[in-house]
Amino acid sequence: MSPLRPYSKSRLARLSKEGRGLNGTFAAKTMPEIISAKQAQHEATRAAIRDLQKAAKSLDKPTVTPEEARALVKPRPKKKEEITRAQAEKLADAAYSQFRRLEASDDNGILRCFICRRPVKWNRAHLMHFHTRAGRTLRFHDQGTQPGCRECNGKPNGDRDNYALRLDAEYGAGTAERLTIESKTMTKRTTIELLEMARDYRLRVERIKEESPNKFSK
């Protein structure tokens, strides 16, 4: 057995700094010390992760500012054909109205007015809105909108009372009231959504045209 190496001053200082005793004995750490050491470790890990995330983000960053990029690219004249939300809504309205009137009509394109039951050719019919389109919730609603004749739609308030009676007769008592409540909520559709709706209903109209060409004959 080799004799124990005498402790040098610097080694003693290091051991004491590390909290270690002599001859391989160690000062046992107290629980709070263990916890705070673990916390420090977690904190260090979190800091390392934050650094990595920061580094990854800076890689994604463009080397030119948006202003510089714009200056590099030829200024593009503002497209005149860019569609506003209001225009998109009109397109969706028109396609939806056409689809609903065609769908309600027979092979010869004749539908019956939802209110007065008079026969009318789909392309002379109107899509009657039980409530104004302003709230937008019922704008494309299959119960809140019904094909009808120009006369009924032109009556004051769109002949609302008879419209309500017909709604309840068709879909069950309380329908008109339920729709009125629903009409007071707001539905906001984006331009993209409206354009998609317009396209969807246009495609449906196209399909009807292929399958029932008679509806389109005069």
The radius of gyration of the chain's CA atoms, rounded to the nearest angstrom, is 38
Least separation in angstroms between residue 113's CB and Zn ion is 3
Least separation in angstroms between residue 131's CB and Zn ion is 18
Residues from 141 through 180 that contact Zn ion (CB under 5 A): 148-149, 152
Least separation in angstroms between residue 144's CB and Zn ion is 17
68: Cβ–Cβ under 8 A, 6 or more apart, which residues? none
User: In terms of CB distance, is 119 or 213 closer to Zn ion?
Assistant: 119
User: In terms of CB distance, is 123 or 190 closer to Zn ion?
Assistant: 123
> In this structure, are residues 130 and 179 in contact, taking their beta carbons and an 8 Å threshold?
yes
User: In terms of CB distance, is 165 or 181 closer to Zn ion?
Assistant: 165
Q: Could you give the C-alpha distances from 17 to 22, 33, 39, 154, in angstroms and in order?
A: 12, 15, 21, 95
* String of contacts with Zn ion for each residue 104-133, x by CB under 5 A: ---------x-xx-----------------
Residues at the site binding Zn ion, with contacts judged by CB under 5 A:
113, 115-116, 148-149, 152
